[in-house]
Amino acid sequence: MAQRENRLPFLQDMRMSAARLRREGDRIVARFRHDALRLVERAPAVDNLLAAASVHKLRANARERAEHAMREMEARRTHLVSTVQEQLDRLADLIARGLNTAPRAEVDDLKHRVSRIEHQFQALREKREKGEAA
């Protein structure tokens, strides 16, 4: 029985603490409720402000992405053009070799030789015509 009497003040302290905690909890819940209602009342203004900031960020982000995409597309286009040009050059070389065509210098030399032969032929013809006329 003595132990029971000793526990009694402890239990009373526990009950008082529990009651105090309950009151404090109710007060905190009421405060949260009040703050939540105030936030809900301000929500449209806050939402508008956040939306405006969000729209600005979205626009800036979209602009950055578009500029990045344009730079990347330009780099790819440049690379593609140079790749196609290289392939066309190689293909032209292959075709020229396949056709067994002469190099440009050789063609120029042949043109010069043909031109000289034509002049010589013309000179012979004129000489012959003079000889027949006399």
More confident site: 125 or 53: 125
Closest by Cα among 79, 81, 83, 61 to 71: 79
Domain definitions of the chain by residue range: 2-101, 103-134
Is 102 in contact with 110 (CB distance < 8 Å)? yes
The pLDDT value recorded for residue 60 is 82
Residue 95 clears pLDDT 90, i.e. is over it: no
pLDDT in tens, 53-72: 777 787 788 888 888 888 89
> Is the model more confident about 100 or about 26?
26
